[in-house]
Amino acid sequence: MNNLLSLAEEKPVSFSRRLFLGSSLAAAVLPSLVRAEEAAPTSAATAFTPRHIPARELPVPTTVSPELQAVIGAPYSPGWNDIPQNATDWKDLAFKSAAGAANAIAAIKEHFGLQVEKTTMAGVPVFVITPQEIAPNNENRLLVHIHGGGFVLFPGEAGAGEGMMMAGYGKFRVVSIDYRMAPDFPFPAALDDVTAVWRVLLASYEPSKMGMFGTSAGGGLTLSAVLRAKSEGLSLPGAIAPGSPCADLTWSGDTANANAYVDNALISRSGWVGAATTLYAGAHDLRNPELSPIFGDFRNFPPAILTSGTRDLLLSDTVRTHRKLRQARVNAFLQVFEGESHAQFLTPFVPETEEAFGEIAHFFDVHLAS
Amino acid sequence: MNNLLSLAEEKPVSFSRRLFLGSSLAAAVLPSLVRAEEAAPTSAATAFTPRHIPARELPVPTTVSPELQAVIGAPYSPGWNDIPQNATDWKDLAFKSAAGAANAIAAIKEHFGLQVEKTTMAGVPVFVITPQEIAPNNENRLLVHIHGGGFVLFPGEAGAGEGMMMAGYGKFRVVSIDYRMAPDFPFPAALDDVTAVWRVLLASYEPSKMGMFGTSAGGGLTLSAVLRAKSEGLSLPGAIAPGSPCADLTWSGDTANANAYVDNALISRSGWVGAATTLYAGAHDLRNPELSPIFGDFRNFPPAILTSGTRDLLLSDTVRTHRKLRQARVNAFLQVFEGESHAQFLTPFVPETEEAFGEIAHFFDVHLAS
């Protein structure tokens, strides 16, 4: 190297952590290099004026498949901010969510030729999903699926669609947990049910050969289930795949604001989903890590893959979870899909969905014992 | 497993790829499962009405360090959309960008105690950056840095700040390339310069012990340089780290719209940055992979780590590059930082910056030969 160089002249410079803006023009073009002013360490957020974002027309991107363009281009449903006012209304919404998913569930089962058996484990209803072919590496493996739906929706088989796609795309056996939900059974019933099933499965499978996964509420519950297993001294799964996890029920993530009304799946926390997480949490401290795992201790977590989309209201929850796992030295991976709103990587029969499941299946194949 | 189950009743269902929406309410809560309508395979984008996004007030998130809150809370600079109208104005803007960065450059050098030597390789000016201590694993390694600035800004040492931070945080030797820029030297001058330096370095270093990295225009040039090396039959670097790459000069990525006026660094392609990429491209086809590497062939690329932020105007370019690398079976990693606009992971002396560089340094340490 040295033969390529002349000796550099040393120029001592005075060091200051408080850098000064050059010209306003330079600040426009180089904010990342010229802005390093120290902020007040306390109450910093209140010191800043919120940014005014003008109204805009957001086109459907041409950078995704035509099938996904149809999903991105779909309007908000008129019902997204009809918030149930009592337990009966919540249960009616849950019933409708299940009815609305029925055709998709049937199509997924048919497409992959899946065998789906309903049974119970530790008294908790589960669906055991068996694909037509189990991959040779997966013969002694099992994936545990925890469904999404804001801790209130998709009771029964309607919740198992993601588990079915994982079984089909990845050629894994999957157990999908039909956990108890709000309003009748708020926190911590869901987590108790997941943990009870986990205990049963530990009697039959080696933990290093089991993965755990789920999206949205199911992603949050996946993280919380690992925290609970740690605190109870249970063996942990060999790998986990929390998709766009509800990791922060205080809704402090930046994209809860930045992607509001951009995301056409959840739209805004002002709709049913914010009310659902409030209903689930009840009077519990929202910063309880079993409710909001982003506030938990991720040390010794198993390898993880996280999935989200650029328009996802919970993109921040996803990337904050990824960063916090990395800070805890966990072998954690992130994938983010172009233009997708919350949980749209689960849309059946869209090419990007096959890609997302392919990545997750590959991740489990690499990280689970066989 | 079978002992846990009763046999499931088989219920044949008719399969249809055209799934139907359940109720509008179900569509609101379960778009990802109930929306799988087939889209017309052609001209799909024109079939959709753009989504109207209402005006909003976007607060500064509390989920990041106070130092980063100050960066996120900073207003747009008044000069961001003053677009130079002729070559003299562009060069004046470049001069101001360099002047505006001078204090930060001096502080970075001082903070890390770096030795920075200016020399040339194949006639191209470069800065050779040597940290106070080279990590033992890095003794025979070299990182090649390609700076950002929209292919027009940060001439001279002003462009080397990212390379200096990499040298300091990662304890690597770094060569930062002061490539020719528009308006005097549009495409492909920059890529020619990078390739010329790469040829020189191949004579002194094993390619498997060299990494290449850069952000924004420098991220795009990193990808283009690998494409160029492939087409010229040159050895490829052992690993690359394109940060928030300008990978698509057609600006087709979704966040170019979705994060417009959310990103406070680039703000919108309607400002100087869109004009800069047009100036750089000249009359060349914008889909030329050496201009817009997203349209290139990523097979056989070296391992890569990509970095972006949730508010980044080029988040889509970043995640599309990540996906396309993965589709090409490249060992590619993604990290996305909460609340950060374009290239703000380079902000000096912010905790998240140290975290980002720590990840990239670790990535190079794992993937480069030593």
Instruction: Tell which residue, A214, A317, A335, has the closest CA to residue A256.
Output: A317
Considering only CB atoms, B19 lies closest to which of A58, A107, A345, namely A107
Cα A265 from Cα B26, distance rounded (Å): 11
The backbone torsions φ and ψ at residue A335, rounded to the nearest 5 degrees and listed phi first, read -135, 135
Cα A327 from Cα A335, distance rounded (Å): 18
pLDDT in tens, chain A (370 residues): 333 333 222 233 233 333 333 333 444 445 455 444 433 344 444 568 899 999 999 999 999 999 999 999 999 988 899 999 999 999 999 999 999 999 999 999 999 999 999 999 999 999 999 999 999 999 999 999 999 999 999 999 999 999 999 999 999 999 999 999 999 999 999 999 999 999 999 999 999 999 999 999 999 999 999 999 999 999 999 999 999 999 999 999 999 999 999 999 999 999 999 999 999 999 999 999 999 999 999 999 999 999 999 999 999 999 999 999 999 999 999 999 999 999 999 999 999 999 999 999 999 999 999 9
Residues in chain B with pLDDT values less than 50: 1-29, 31, 34-45
- What does the radius of gyration of chain B's CA atoms come to, in whole angstroms? 23
Domains located in chain B, CATH noted:
82-367 (3.40.50.1820)
Whether A61 and B45 lie within 8 Å, measured CB to CB = yes
Residue type, A334: L
| Torsion sign over Cα B253, B256, B262, B267 | positive
Whether B35 and A70 lie within 8 Å, measured CB to CB = yes
Residue type, B126: V
Whether A115 and B70 lie within 8 Å, measured CB to CB = no
A93 neighbourhood in chain B, CB within 8 Å? 25, 29
- For residue A352 the two structure tokens come to 């990007």
DSSP helix/strand/coil, B306: strand
Whether A28 and B1 lie within 8 Å, measured CB to CB = no
B270 neighbourhood in chain A, CB within 8 Å? none
B117 neighbourhood in chain A, CB within 8 Å? 5-8
Interface test with chain B among A51, A134, A251, by most B beta carbons within 10 Å: A51
Whether B262 and A4 lie within 8 Å, measured CB to CB = no
Instruction: Tell which residue, A302, A313, A353, A308, has the closest CA to residue A335.
Output: A308
DSSP helix/strand/coil, A32: helix
Question: Residue B363: enclosing H or E segment and its boundaries?
Answer: helix B351-367
The pLDDT, as a whole number, for residue B39 is 37
Residue pairs between chains A and B whose CB atoms are closer than 8 Å = 481
Do the Cβ atoms of B333 and B360 come closer than 8 Å? no
**Number of Cβ within a 10 Å radius of residue B233:** 6
